[in-house]
Amino acid sequence: MAQPVKNETSEERERNWKDPNELLKFVCERGKVMCPYCSVPVGRIKVTSNTISLQDAPWVTTGDRDGKTNLDFQGTCLHPSQKSPPCKAVINLGKWENYSEVHINNKYALIVKSTIPCLVSGMDIKIVHSGQTALLTSINPILLKQLIVEKEYFTTVEATVCHELKYQAVYREYGYPVENKLHLIRWKVKFTGRNGEEDKEVKLEEVEEIKKTRCQLTGHEIFFPVPQEWRYRNITLIAYMLNDKSVEAVYSRVIFIKDHIVAAFYRVENTKAIPFRIHNVSEQAGTGNILVSEPVYHIQGMYKEGNRYYFAGSTKPQNPAYVLTVNECPNENCEGGYERCDVMTFGDSFDEETYDDNLACYTHPGGLQSANGVLAVGLEKYKGGRTKINDAMLCFYDTMNMKEYKNMRMRLKDRASAVGIVYYKNKWIVAVRVNNGTVVFYSFSEKDTALTTIKEFKNIKEFQNLNLFLDEEEQIYMFGMESTKLPVLGDGTKTNFCWIYKVDIEDKEIYATWKDEDGYIQYKNYENIEENKIRFITKLPTSFQWSSCVHIQKNENTGIEEDRKEDPNFIGNEDTGFIGKFTVYASDNNVKEKAIKKEGVQYTVRRKPATPVIECNLFQEEKVNK
């Protein structure tokens, strides 16, 4: 018996024709999400992470996770922990899960089965519609010849100096893959011009910067490192068939070269020492020596932060140590390009009766560094002339007024030859090189100024100076400066080394870090490793033995609007990687000024009108097209 014709409602029709592959569909801006605790449980998705279209709507990615902006819930939050505020006022999201492996603008594309937790309710917000609008009657018929860029991969190893891109393409005829023609696939790239330049289109195998590297540029699967000149450009990658150029596949994206802090340091030209002088060095009261041949100023540590130089110095075993601060002068008429020099003396005067506790009795300063308004410096003690003993003081000063920071100091039954400091996750991390190449790490915070020992690492190196820095992912890197015992070369130059380490504070580990010949950053346990040193050649008497430091010029203009930030500590983000420019400094052992012996007085005095200067060498990064 024939069944009567049933008139389906729109809801029944949608249910009966539901796509079984819906959960694997990519999501675009028309998509919808659902939260069981919202009074209006279904909201719309708004995309801010990119402008690349899927069915004429922006593609949703893992970068779209700002609840107030990207998930448009119109109701109020009914979770028991809340008092019915608007969802937009309280929504707080975690990270997307169950996303695809397809990259869109350096983010992963979402699919319908992707979820994201709401940290208010603890429940997952789910995607209930992909936003794709293609109907069965509107799907294009199978093309006779079809070339598709099927996948895009990125090297995900943190070690890459810049992104290496990998693409796969598939060639089909009558809907079926044709493997015997994959070798005929060729690739070209079109990228937008900048500053009035015209757009360019080149064949991939003709790009000189790529040809010199490890790469595969033809066929169905290619890989290559991104040339520097493509940085921050919108590029279009085009695959085509060598025997039929009418068959093309087009893929567009913005290129970000993710720089690495160690890779940037390797761009410093370590054999090209540039001499320069720091003028206007103030006279220090009480300086002088019994012998004319001894120095008036002896420099034993330096650091540069922003436009300010710090120099730690001493004169004789019974004179207090001091710190000179010299600011670079923006006024071209300023003598030597430097403003006046200020002097901060440790303690008031040397006193034998208070020898054990008086800071002025710690007359031999070591290396120093400042971070987030605090200057850290180590002071060592002499006994019996110039014999150092295992008695040192770790001191901290406010860089605004050069007064002791909250009366902080720590006595060490050891040396304090080099000190580094960095501000990390709302606390300061301090590294001190003590005896026998041992480095000890401490921490303290603004609220808790008691120094806490993190860990002692033995058998590192005999650093004369060391510096700590953060990269864009808040990983700590240590740069240790060492002057070697190798003989002075015939041209009067000295061999020095800078050693690089990654410091994992949470796991309490240190790793030797270096860039290998293929441009990848390597990490190994620090013991018995030599690969992580970079040789620097200085002209004596300048060397790392006396005072040296690593300087990062931060917040370099990258050419993209979102990176032009006012924060002077900005050094990059997850897209750009590390952003900064390195300079390495080293100074002579003494302030340059001849000393004479005044008749009837055992100390030397300054010859007038001589102006004290500090002779230095600096090493800069080589120029890189960005």
Give the SS3 label for residue 365.
Answer: strand
- Tens digits of residue pLDDT in 103-151: 888 888 899 999 999 998 888 999 988 888 744 333 333 345 667 665 5
pTM for the whole structure:
0.62
- Rounded to 5 degrees, φ, ψ at 596 are -125, 160
Rounded mean pLDDT of the chain?
Answer: 78
Q: What gap in Å lies between CA 92 and CA 123, rounded to an integer?
A: 11
> Domain-by-domain residue ranges, the chain?
21-129, 140-254, 273-620
DSSP-assigned beta bridge partners for residue 176: 173
Q: Do residues 395 and 402 lie in contact, with contact meaning Cβ atoms separated by under 8 Å? A: no
- Tens digits of residue pLDDT in 228-283: 666 556 677 788 888 887 788 776 655 555 678 888 899 899 999 999 888 767 65
* CATH code for the structural domain at 273-620: 2.130.10
Nearest 5°: the CA angle 28, 33, 39 is 150
Per-residue H/E/C for 114-139: CEEEECCCCCEEEEEECCCCCCHHHC
| Residue recorded with tokens 């003598």 | 335
Cβ contacts of 407 within 8 Å, gap of 6 or more = none
- Rounded to 5 degrees, φ, ψ at 617 are -120, 145
CATH architecture designation of domain 140-254: Sandwich (2.60)
Q: What gap in Å lies between CA 389 and CA 394, rounded to an integer?
A: 15
CB atoms closer than 10 angstroms to residue 451: 17
Q: Do residues 460 and 480 lie in contact, with contact meaning Cβ atoms separated by under 8 Å? A: yes
- Tens digits of residue pLDDT in 399-451: 998 899 998 999 988 889 899 999 999 999 999 999 888 999 999 999 999 99
Tokens of 298: 């002896």
425/331: higher pLDDT: 425
Q: What gap in Å lies between CA 321 and CA 257, rounded to an integer?
A: 46
- Tens digits of residue pLDDT in 558-614: 444 444 344 555 676 665 678 788 999 999 887 765 443 334 433 334 443 345 778
